[in-house]
């Protein structure tokens, strides 16, 4: 080992990287470790004594991408540089993301003597990227999907529906008098109600269905693969629509996120029912925007009719004459959670 260090004069490299914040490692032709710096120890937890002579693969773990490992090994065998990101394992067993650069080191005769590794811990950046990605796909308050996810899935369902002839349904839901809750009890109470609504909506549909929050108090549900028979599909949609209207007209406590009997003097003011527009479709010449617009229009018609109801229309209906719905539920019925 000392002779190998002398032959390739690693001391100059060691001095250059001694104060660097980048992890620095030199490996020999057999991928054994010859030299590291203090930053490498700080990042990985391994000391000089624990690293010297050791095969560099000990940094790999069960969560390390096998394809990236293969690319690194190919770089060794072909004596070519590698640049990329890889998930390494620290001494304590935890994992970190590393921006990795590996370059060959040649002697004066042009023969390969070693490979020089530079390692930067980019775990914080990767975590931030993950959080930003989650924000793009998941609503931070309700943990429901966002409009972006909904539109993507709706596009897929339209294509699939046109092939398998199965009907799908789109529910556009807007809470009635939600502003009153914010005005009377404050936005914290409004947030509690929105989270409660999200929970109730998910309970109204199957796990494979899509529930999204697309606005302040607007929600959309996408149900696919109902049935190729329109009458059977419509029966299924009506059951879901009735369940949604009933669930969202039920009183809920705004003092605490956990369900319990409300202790406010005027329980009715905690309540905000919903107007629901439903479109039944089978992938016939309807775009994502058109279906959303149709469901939105039906929702507004339900709201103008007094709210606390749903209206259902078939997507290929030329006019709204075939639209149907239910009368308002008895909101004085004592139902508490």
pLDDT digits (tens, 9 = 90+) for 225-275: 898 999 999 999 999 999 999 999 877 666 554 444 444 545 455 667 899
Residue 21's CB is within 10 A of a number of other CB atoms, namely 12
Whole-number percent of the chain with pLDDT over 70: 82
Question: Quick one: DSSP state of residue 57?
Answer: G
- 294 has a pLDDT exceeding 90: yes
Q: Which residue has the tokens 């404050």?
A: 186
Mean pLDDT score, 171-196:
89
Angle value at C-alpha 157, between 153 and 158, nearest 5 degrees: 120
Our CA dihedral for 73, 77, 78, 84, rounded to 10 degrees, sits at 20
The predicted pLDDT at position 6 comes to 47
3-class secondary-structure state, position 157: helix
Sequence ranges of the chain with CATH classification 3.30.450.20: 2-128
- 19 has a pLDDT exceeding 80: no
Query: Is 172 within 8 Å of 281 (Cβ atoms)?
Result: no
pLDDT, one tens digit per residue, over 33-51 is: 998 999 999 999 999 999 9
Regarding the domain delimited by 138-325, which CATH topology (the fold level of the hierarchy) does it fall under?
Alpha-Beta Plaits (3.30.70)
- 199 has a pLDDT exceeding 60: yes
Sequence ranges of the chain with CATH classification 3.30.70.270: 138-325
Q: 276: closest CA among 316, 315, 305? A: 305
CATH architecture, domain defined by 2-128:
2-Layer Sandwich (3.30)
């Amino acid at each position: 080992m000392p002779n190998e260090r002398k032959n390739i004069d690693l001391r100059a490299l060691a001095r250059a990287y001694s104060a660097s914040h980048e992890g620095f490692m030199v490996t020999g032709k057999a991928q054994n470790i010859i030299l590291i710096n203090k930053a490498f120890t700080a990042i990985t937890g391994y000391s000089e004594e624990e690293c010297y002579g050791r095969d560099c693969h000990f940094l790999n773990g069960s969560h390390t991408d096998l394809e990236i490992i293969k690319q690194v090994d190919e770089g060794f065998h072909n004596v070519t540089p590698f640049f990329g990101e890889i998930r390494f394992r620290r001494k304590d067993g935890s994992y970190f993301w590393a921006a990795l650069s590996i370059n060959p080191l040649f002697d004066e005769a042009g023969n390969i003597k070693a490979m020089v590794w530079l390692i930067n811990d980019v775990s914080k950046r990767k975590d931030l990227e993950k959080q930003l990605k989650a924000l793009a796909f998941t609503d931070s308050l309700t943990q429901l999907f966002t409009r972006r996810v909904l539109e993507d899935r709706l596009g897929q369902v339209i294509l699939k529906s046109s092939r398998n002839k199965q009907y799908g349904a789109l529910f556009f839901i807007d809470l009635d008098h939600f502003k009153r809750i914010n005005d009377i009890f404050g936005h914290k109470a409004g947030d509690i109600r929105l989270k409660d609504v999200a929970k109730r909506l998910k309970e109204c549909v199957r796990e494979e269905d899509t529930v999204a929050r697309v606005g302040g108090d607007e929600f959309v549900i996408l149900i696919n693969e109902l049935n190729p028979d329109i009458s059977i599909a419509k029966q299924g949609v009506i059951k879901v629509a009735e369940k949604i209207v009933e669930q969202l007209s039920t009183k809920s406590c705004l003092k605490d996120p956990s369900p319990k009997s409300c202790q406010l003097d005027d329980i009715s003011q905690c309540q905000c029912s919903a107007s629901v527009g439903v479109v039944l479709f089978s992938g016939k010449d309807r775009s994502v925007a058109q279906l959303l617009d149709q469901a939105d229009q039906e929702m507004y018609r339900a709201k103008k009719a007094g709210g606390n109801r749903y209206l259902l229309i078939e997507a290929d209906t030329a006019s709204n004459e075939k639209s149907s719905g239910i009368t308002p539920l008895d909101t004085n019925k004592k139902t508490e959670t």
